């Protein structure tokens, strides 16, 4: 019986499932919006929200827990300082989570992600969905750009 068992197995082993969810949430942190199957989006949502809650805490211990969950080790082998800084700015998931995303959600108590259904995939009829951060979408809506356009015309 599966009473009180919430984990979606997704047809994978424990290690494969955790690696896949870490990669999916890493892509969500990096690109702010990911298209995937509905089952994977529903499984990734609690992982992403718990990581963002760690990001709001902001301690060194929280950073280490987030790095462990995202399976991201500190990168120390770079050819130059510029290469290290470029990696830190664009690819360091823990830095992006703690310094870019967490301040946007500081007043929000939960519900950091949204899942929007897209319909079925052509090849295998899998239900597709988009998972994205809630505040980033509201902060970058086209309405803000149309307001600027109307102010420029006036």
Contact partners, residue 108, CB within 8 Å, separation at least 6: 134, 135
Whether the pLDDT of residue 148 is over 70: the answer is no
Whether the pLDDT of residue 81 is over 80: the answer is yes
pLDDT band at 150 (very low <50, low <70, confident <90, very high): very low
Kindly state the helix (H) or strand (E) to which residue 37 belongs, with its residue range. strand 33-37
* Domain architecture of the chain: domains with CATH: 14-153 (3.90.1030.10)
Q: What is the pLDDT of residue 139?
A: 53
Q: What is the pLDDT of residues 120-135, one digit of tens each?
A: 999 999 999 999 999 8
Q: What is the pLDDT of residue 137?
A: 63
Whether the pLDDT of residue 3 is over 70: the answer is yes
Taking the C-alpha atoms of residue 127 and residue 85, their distance in angstroms, rounded to an integer, is 39
Put simply, whether the predicted model's pTM sits higher than 0.85 gets the answer no
């Amino acid at each position: 019986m599966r009473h009180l068992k919430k984990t979606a197995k997704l047809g994978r082993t424990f290690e494969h499932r955790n690696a896949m969810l870490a990669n999916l949430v890493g892509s969500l942190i990096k690109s702010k919006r990911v298209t995937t199957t509905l089952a994977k989006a529903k499984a990734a949502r609690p992982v992403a929200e718990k990581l963002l809650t760690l990001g709001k805490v902001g301690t060194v211990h929280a950073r280490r827990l987030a790095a462990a969950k995202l399976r991201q080790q500190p990168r120390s082998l770079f050819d130059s300082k510029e290469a290290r800084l470029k990696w830190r700015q664009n690819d360091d998931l823990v830095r992006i989570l703690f310094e870019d995303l967490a301040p946007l959600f500081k007043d929000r108590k939960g519900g950091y992600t949204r899942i929007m259904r897209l319909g079925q995939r052509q090849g295998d009829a899998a239900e597709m969905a988009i998972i994205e951060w809630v505040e980033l979408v509201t902060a970058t809506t086209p309405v803000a750009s149309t307001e600027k356009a109307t102010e420029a015309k006036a």
